[in-house]
Amino acid sequence: MAGLVIANWKMHGSLELIAEFAQEWRELPQLSGVNVVLCPPAPYLGVVSEAVEGIVLGAQNSADRVEGALTGEVSSQMLSELGCGYVIIGHSERRSLFSETDAQVAVKAQLAIAQGLHAVVCVGETLEHRDADQQDKVVSEQLLGSLAEVPWEKLVVAYEPVWAIGTGRTATPAQAEAMHGVIKGCLRGHFGDAGADIPVIYGGSVKPENAGVLFECDNIDGALVGGASLNANSFWHIASAASAGRA
Ligand code: 13P
């Protein structure tokens, strides 16, 4: 499968940054063999889709209801209408800071896929779990809990060890590859043969310097990039490494 590289800008950016990013991105060579997705903060979706060429638009979150009196929420139908192809669901920051549960993540993913979006379901263990050697159990349980009633078509799984997010501390390629193997095993167990076609991407301090070695791993199908995706040049280098790594 072609590599998949997703920019998660989190709550960063401005109209000025988008203009600079778009300008720099336009001057970089076009990429092939990799799907590039950009997930800006929701208010900037329209501007990014107009300004940045050659990317698929994505969102960082969607509601767990179809519609209603839910001040501040954004539905997957709205995201789909705005031209999004992807939505990140159950990021560890949403789970820890906004108390999202596996059950909510599963409902959000179902609704997103029903609207034709790719649902990027995030899982990952804390440092405490890793230090206690509990990571395989914790991530498998989190994954299966987050996939209840979720169809496999248009599903993407992102493995983001919490201890590697924004810390500069990447999982070693061996650690990431091992966990991606566990996740792929779970997906095959849950979905049968179709599970093998679900991309599993890695996130946590991915940079141009470490992207190449990560993408050489058989079970790593791409990356979910935070900090390094705010700069067009560094994001392009990561995406370009994915296209070379999967060629
Ligand atoms: P960083 O790349 O900044 O570590 O963030 C990873 C992440 O959380 C992407 O969703």
Residue 203's closest CA among 126, 139, 123, 147? 123
46 three-class SS: helix
Give the DSSP letter of residue 83. Answer: T
pLDDT one digit per residue (tens) for the chain, 247 residues = 779 999 999 999 999 999 999 999 999 999 999 999 999 999 999 999 999 999 999 999 999 999 999 999 999 999 999 999 999 999 999 999 999 999 999 999 999 999 999 999 999 999 999 999 999 999 999 999 999 999 999 999 999 999 999 888 888 999 999 999 999 999 999 999 999 999 999 999 999 999 999 999 999 999 999 999 999 999 999 999 998 765 4
204 lines ligand 1 (CB under 6 A): yes
Instruction: Give the range of the structural domain holding residue 199, as residue numbers without chain letter.
Output: 3-245
Of all protein residues, whose CA lies closest to atom 7 belonging to ligand 1? 226
Check pocket membership of 110 for ligand 1, CB cut-off 6 A: no
The CATH number of the domain where 130 resides is what?
3.20.20.70
Pocket flag, ligand 1, residue 239 (CB < 6 Å) = no
Tell me: the pLDDT tens digits for 141-195?
999 999 999 999 999 999 999 999 988 888 899 999 999 999 999 999 999 999 9
- In whole angstroms, what is the distance from residue 18 CA to residue 20 CA? 5
* Local structure of 128: helix, strand or coil: helix
Coil, strand, or helix at residue 171? coil
pTM (predicted TM-score):
0.97
CA pair distance 28, 8, nearest whole angstrom: 20
When divided into structural domains, the chain yields a total of: 1
